[in-house]
Chains A and B, each alone.
Chain A
Amino acid sequence: MLEVTGLQKKYKEKTVFENVTLQMKPGEIVGLVGENGAGKSTLLELLATVMQPTLGEIELEGFSYTDGFKTIRRLIGYVPQDIAVWEEFTVEENMQFFEKLSWKKHTKEECRQLCVDMQLTQWKEEVRSLSGGMKRKLNLAISLLNDPVLLLLDEPTVGIDLKSKIEIGSYLHNLAKSDGKMIMYTSHDMDEITTLCDRVYSIGKDPFYMDLLTKNEIAVEQLK
């Protein structure tokens, strides 16, 4: 369970959003849409403990964020919008590096399988010689190493080819439906959102996404 109540984020004078309240249940895939600068990344960063809110409460699996992040971080897999991998490492070394530092232990074969699940097969190749889409896949695979309860994905599939997108989508779907993970997902790709997500939050003042998604018969709720 994820419960967010009355969340507000301000940068000095500028309020990104306020009074955001939402819930997520195990097994749910929830989309987050909105125009550029609406505050999608900001909301995910707050949920991921990367930033702290100016106001409001967040509770994950009964742990309040105000009581410290230590236990909460073990439950979270966060894929930042920017790619965060070692460029001079190979795919294998990246996976090994973060596996060694992770709570959850994996065999080398498991790490490799995780990459294959993300449609990334260049196991021995240096990251700096990979394409942008391949780096994104690795970015995703590393975040899954923790075996998180809550997965926060910030535009994870930007630049990823259609076939891989579909494969990754079905992997994530499986993760939610058979392992009961919660997945929050931002994307500008409406097809992806409508096929993958159980329901959607729209953030920002523009009713555009609201209208669009309602037309597509997707359960959508306006935040803020």
Chain B
Amino acid sequence: MRNIVSTRLMRSKKEWKSLLSWMLLPLIMTVVIMQSIESWQEETKVPVALVVEDETEMAGRLVEDIAATELFHIQFMNLDDALHKLEQHELDSVFVIRKGYEDNILSNRRNQLIVAFSSNRSFANQAVVETIASFAQQDAARSKAAFVIKHLFMEYGMEEEWHYDEIIDSSRDRQKSEALLQSSFSYYDKQNRANEQSIPLVKAWGVWTIFAIITTFFLFDWMLKENRPSMRQRWLFTEISFKKYALGSLLLLTAIIYAMDIITAIIFTSLFQEAFTIRVLFVLFVFRLTINLLAFLLASLYRQLFMYYTSGLAIALLLAVVGGAIIPLDGLARKWVWVEALSPVQSLLNGTIPILWLCALVVLLGVWFFKGGEKNA
């Protein structure tokens, strides 16, 4: 094994630049793509200014709710600036949460709580108004309920047990736990479906797998280069056969590339808040082993580099699409569950182990290693 490692390293040292770039490419491409998706989403958000005149808790919550909506790019400023920017069409709309917002809601006066300004180019104004109005509406409804409850309690002489805030809080909690918050503006969802869906569904690991599989095929092209017909005659007269050398190289390269995968996982953790656990590392290792075996065995079938690269590329795309790395095949998978099970990509994204793939590939590796040991192939 020592001789295999040192000869392998001798070969790899000559190609370290391309090896390194193939190993770094998935990470770099993922970061670039994820970041451009993010900034694209930022750009497609509706620019809205909030002018907060009321400094009460209820107004604060309303602001939080609005800010939590992925559809708005919220800027806080004073009214003059906001109106100026609206005139310049830098903003879609301006909303003013007026002084006395909480007081008015609590005393059930519901006129002119929020004032909205828009320009003639405000394309999303109607939708934005409705969304914000629905938040205010919720506040009002909760307060009204609290108001009624409080009155009922007072009528039946059960005093001081409840406070407005408690009722409102519990209503809020309940709403959250029942996920009414999302459904309450589902009308918005339909309008901006593409927008909304792209937010959670392009996963960093999903993007990464596509490039990881493609580059793996390039990382294993030495299988063809080093066993090309003119060199094959040399390998016949070595104590360590090409197969042993190739197998040792497979192990060594798997270790090296996996180290790069771990670095990738660490970077993803800090950039995209992906989990970094022993389980993730294990699943990642099995995924790495699976695609390395796949590339290795595919390379052993080919003599021409071009044909190998082409089929590698095709397989990479197929696995990525079937595995749901590019577009989540929710609809498809619901119909045919086995479609997803077909791709090791899905296993990585789900955090499971592609046991079928792994077994099949290990068996094929055994067949490759032991078949026709005597022949020159």
User: CB within 8 A of A101: which of B14, B230, B233, B238?
Assistant: B238
CB of A69 closer than 8 Å to a CB of B = yes
Decide if B10 touches A93 in the complex (CB within 8 Å): yes
**A102 CB–B CB distance under 8 Å:** yes
Q: Check: B80 CB closer than 8 A to any chain A CB.
A: no
A68:B374 contact, CB within 8 angstroms: yes
A102: B residues at CB distance < 8 A: 237-239
Residue A84, interface by CB 8 Å: yes
**A142 & B234 in contact (Cβ 8 Å cutoff):** yes
Specify the main secondary structure of chain B where it touches its partner: helix
Interface size on B, residues (CB 8 A): 18
- Asked whether any CB of chain A lies closer than 8 Å to the CB of B314, the reply is no
Beta-carbon contact of B10 and A146 below 8 Å:
no
Chain A 68-88 per-residue mask, 1 if CB under 8 angstroms from chain B, else 0: 111001101110101110101
Q: Which of chain B's residues 238-279 have a Cβ closer than 8 Å to chain A?
A: 238-240, 245
| CB atoms of B230 and A83 under 8 A apart | yes
B175 lies within 8 A of chain A by Cβ? no
**Chain A 166-199 interface residues, beta-carbon cutoff 8 Å to B:** none
Q: Would A100 and B3 count as touching, CB distance under 8 A?
A: yes
Alpha-carbon distance between A45 and B226 when the two chains are bound, in angstroms = 21
Asked whether A78 lies within 8 Å of B10 as measured between CB atoms, the reply is no
A73 with B374, Cβ < 8 A, contacts A100-B7, A101-B7 known? no
Contact B10 A89 (CB under 8 A): yes
A49 contacts partner chain B, Cβ-Cβ < 8 Å: yes
- Identify B233's interface contact among A69, A84, A86, A88, CB under 8 A: A84
Partner of A98 from the list B14, B230, B233, B234 (CB cut-off 8 Å) is: B234
A69 to B372, CA, bound (A): 12
Q: How far is it, in angstroms, between the C-alpha of A78 and the C-alpha of B376 when the chains are bound?
A: 14
Asked if residues B10 and A76 are in contact (CB atoms below 8 Å), the reply is no
CB of B237 within 8 A of CB of A78, answer yes
In angstroms, Cα B375 to Cα A49, docked, is 9
**Contact of B231 with A by CB under 8 A:** yes
Given A84-B230, A93-B10, A100-B3, answer yes or no on A49-B236 (Cβ-Cβ < 8 Å). yes
Cross-chain contact A101 with B240 (CB below 8 angstroms): yes
The answer to whether A42 has its CB under 8 Å from any CB of chain B is: no
List of B residues within 8 angstroms of A84 by Cβ: 230-231, 233-234
Contact A50 B245 (CB under 8 A): no
User: Do the beta carbons of B14 and A88 come within 8 Å of each other?
Assistant: yes
Residues in A whose Cβ lies below 8 Å from that of B6: 100
Chain A residues closer than 8 Å to B10, beta-carbon distance: 89, 93, 96-97
Instruction: Flag A113-146 by CB within 8 Å of B: 1 or 0 each.
Output: 0000000000000000000000000000011001
Q: In the complex the two chains form, is B7's CB within 8 Å of A97's CB?
A: yes
* Chain A hits for B7, CB < 8 A: 97, 100-101
Chain A residues, Cβ within 8 Å of B14: 88-89
How far is A82 from B231 in the complex, measured between Cα atoms in Å? Answer: 10
Inter-chain contact B374/A98, CB cutoff 8 Å = no
Q: In angstroms, how far is the closest chain B Cβ from the Cβ of A53?
A: 14
**Please, how many angstroms separate the alpha-carbon atoms of A29 and B376 in the complex?**
27
| Distance between B39 CB and nearest chain A CB, rounded to angstroms | 42
Contact with A along B5-25 (1 / 0, CB 8 A): 011001100100000000000
User: What separation, in Å, do the CA atoms of A142 and B236 have in the docked complex?
Assistant: 13
Residues of B near A63 (CB, < 8 A) are none
Expressed in whole angstroms, the Cα–Cα distance for A48 and B231 within the complex equals: 15
Residue pair B233, A50 in contact (C-beta under 8 Å): yes
* CB-nearest residue of chain B to A104: B239
Q: Which residues of chain B come closer than 8 Å to A93, judged between CB atoms?
A: 10
User: In chain A, residues 25-57, which have Cβ atoms closer than 8 Å to a Cβ of chain B?
Assistant: 48-51
- Contact B374 A77, beta carbon cutoff 8 Å: no
List 18 other contacts, CB 8 Å, given A51-B376, A83-B230, A101-B245.
A48-B233, A50-B376, A68-B374, A70-B374, A74-B239, A76-B237, A88-B14, A89-B14, A93-B10, A96-B10, A97-B7, A98-B238, A100-B3, A101-B3, A101-B238, A102-B238, A102-B239, A143-B237
Q: Which 5 A-B pairs have the closest CB atoms?
A: A101-B238, A100-B3, A103-B239, A101-B240, A88-B14
Please, could you name 9 A-B residue pairs with CB atoms under 8 Å apart, sorted by A? Answer: A51-B376, A73-B237, A80-B233, A86-B11, A97-B7, A101-B3, A101-B245, A142-B234, A146-B237
